[in-house]
Structure 1
Amino acid sequence: MRDGVRPPLRNHHEEAAEELGTTTKRDTINTALREVTARYRRLRALEEAREPAADGALDMDLLLDKRAYRPRGADSATDDHGTGADG
């Protein structure tokens, strides 16, 4: 903003198009609307997950522990791919 005057909206469109990788005004607006909608959806989901976590209903350490859902040991890893010694 220069001298209290906003730059023309056209500059905002060009900046958004560059950030979003779009080429037309229509694509820029549609992509921006989709991204804003998705962002707010994610924020709402995060907020909804925080409430039970704060109340102790979710074990966040367990949920964030990557080892809890990955195979353990060499035997598990090869069996998952069907190349274990039994095959």
Structure 2
Amino acid sequence: MTVTQIDLDDDALERAMALSKAKTKKEAVNLALRFYAEKQERAARISRHFERAQHWGAVDDATRRHEAEKSG
């Protein structure tokens, strides 16, 4: 664990603590950092899958099927 002194947005911290039910500032900040990292990692995984799907032609196939369903 690293000890770091930082200035925090009091309003954002208060909102995060209320929404997350965090009991301490430390808990709220650590929760927010983990949440952010997980969201970024998930976005990167989705992007990699989308790139693979484009390479396989799956995106074009799905688009054609979707358009066919819309037109009846």
What band does the TM-score fall into relative to the shorter chain? 0.5 to 0.7
Give the structure with higher Rg (CA). 1
Aligned pairs, how many?
53
1:46 aligns to what? 46
**Equivalent pairs: percent with the same residue?**
22
> In structure 2, what is the Cα distance between the partners aligned to 1:36 and 1:14?
17
Structure-2-length-normalised TM-score:
0.64
> In structure 2, what is the Cα distance between the partners aligned to 1:57 and 1:21?
45
Higher helix share goes to which structure? 2
Structure-1-length-normalised TM-score:
0.53
Question: Could you say what secondary structure the match of 1:22 adopts?
Answer: coil
Aligned CA RMSD, in angstroms, stands at 2.2
Where do 5+ consecutive residues of structure 1 fail to align? 1-7, 59-87
> In structure 1, what is the Cα distance between the partners aligned to 2:31 and 2:40?
14
> In structure 2, what is the Cα distance between the partners aligned to 1:35 and 1:51?
24
1:13 aligns to what? 13
Where do 5+ consecutive residues of structure 2 fail to align? 1-7, 59-72
Runs of 4+ with >2 A deviation: none
